[in-house]
Amino acid sequence: MSMLQVQGLKVFHGCVQALRGLTFRAERGEMIAVLGANGAGKSTLLATISGICSPGEGEIIFEGKSLTRKSPEFIVRQGLSLVPEHRQIFNSLTVLDNLLLGAFHRYRSDKSRVMEDLQRVIEIFPALEGKQKQIAGTMSGGLQQMLAIGRGLMARPKLIMLDEPSIGLAPMVVREIMCALRKLKEDGTTIILVEQNASAALKVADRAIIIERGQVALSGNSSELVSDERVQQAYLGKSAKSGFAVREAVAFG
């Protein structure tokens, strides 16, 4: 059985249908990139899996247990964590306080392991070293994104979902974040990565799904999709005739 199964998901925002029977799966330990144009339903998908949005129809199964219409708190306790779009850190709090809030549900009962997780976050994002007392809102956008991911990791998730982590960041910072995500995957964390930067996402992901108008329009291994003419023209901005385009998108770095 797949680690996560999303079956026939239909979600409405008022009278607008955002997801139209969307179905996909995530296997344990893999990274899936979720691509698509603005308004395709990518963020709605993550919000529904994490309990922020409630589906009109469909089922969400995680490790054999239904998460459909469960609260975000319940879902976090099952081992799923969401790093939202635009970071949504607490700007007036310190870096340390932001990180500890990611472990709010287990801090009192598991304090020693929470401290271990703090050290792990610093190892993953060494740029945060020595900044625990800094007010989060005074940091650069790249450091704030690392903090947002670190806060998600403090929940000790089995599966972490990230919504546009590269948005507004310099290419060097995007590279650092993607390298960190690849390391997390190698350590066994399952990752669902929503990205507008299709080239960066396809470099690190095992598989990808492309959402159009609330449905999965295309799916497959990243190496296959990066060679697909439709993907190259719509998401990579390159001609399918360019062999260099294919090689560049496949080879990380």
For the chain, give the secondary structure using H, E and C: CCCEEEEEEEEEECCEEEEEEEEEEECCCCEEEEECCCCCCHHHHHHHHCCCCCCCEEEEEECCEECCCCCHHHHHHHCEEEECCCCCCCCCCEHHHHHHHCCCCCCCCCHHHHHHHHHHHHHHCHHHCCCCCCEHHHCCHHHHHHHHHHHHHCCCCCEEEEECCCCCCCHHHHHHHHHHHHHHHHCCCEEEEECCCHHHHHHHCCEEEEEECCEEEEEEEHHHHCCCHHHHHHHHCCCCCCHHHHHHHHCCC
Any idea which fold 88-158+169-195 has? Rossmann fold (3.40.50)
Tokens, residue 94: 């310190």
**Which residues are CB-neighbours of 79 under 8 A, at least 6 positions away?**
62, 63, 156, 157, 158, 159
Instruction: Give me the half-sphere count of Cα atoms (radius 13 Å) on the Cβ side of residue 8.
Output: 4
Provide the pLDDT for residue 238: 63
Mean pLDDT across 221-239: 86
Provide the pLDDT for residue 247: 39
**Which residues are CB-neighbours of 122 under 8 A, at least 6 positions away?**
128, 129
Q: How far apart are CA 171 and CA 145, in angstroms?
A: 13
For 214-223, how does the pLDDT look when each residue is reduced to its tens digit (9 = 90+)? 999 999 999 9
Provide the pLDDT for residue 250: 38
Residue 185 has pLDDT above 50, yes or no: yes
Confidence of residue 183 (pLDDT cuts 50, 70, 90): very high
**Whether the model pTM is above 0.85:** yes
Confidence of residue 252 (pLDDT cuts 50, 70, 90): very low
Q: Do 180 and 124 touch, CB atoms closer than 8 A?
A: yes
Residue 242 has pLDDT above 80, yes or no: no
For 189-198, how does the pLDDT look when each residue is reduced to its tens digit (9 = 90+)? 999 999 999 9
**Residue written as token pair 């996402």:** 201
Provide the pLDDT for residue 11: 98
Confidence of residue 163 (pLDDT cuts 50, 70, 90): very high
Question: 201 or 112: which carries more pLDDT confidence?
Answer: 201
Provide the pLDDT for residue 91: 97
Residue 21 has pLDDT above 90, yes or no: yes
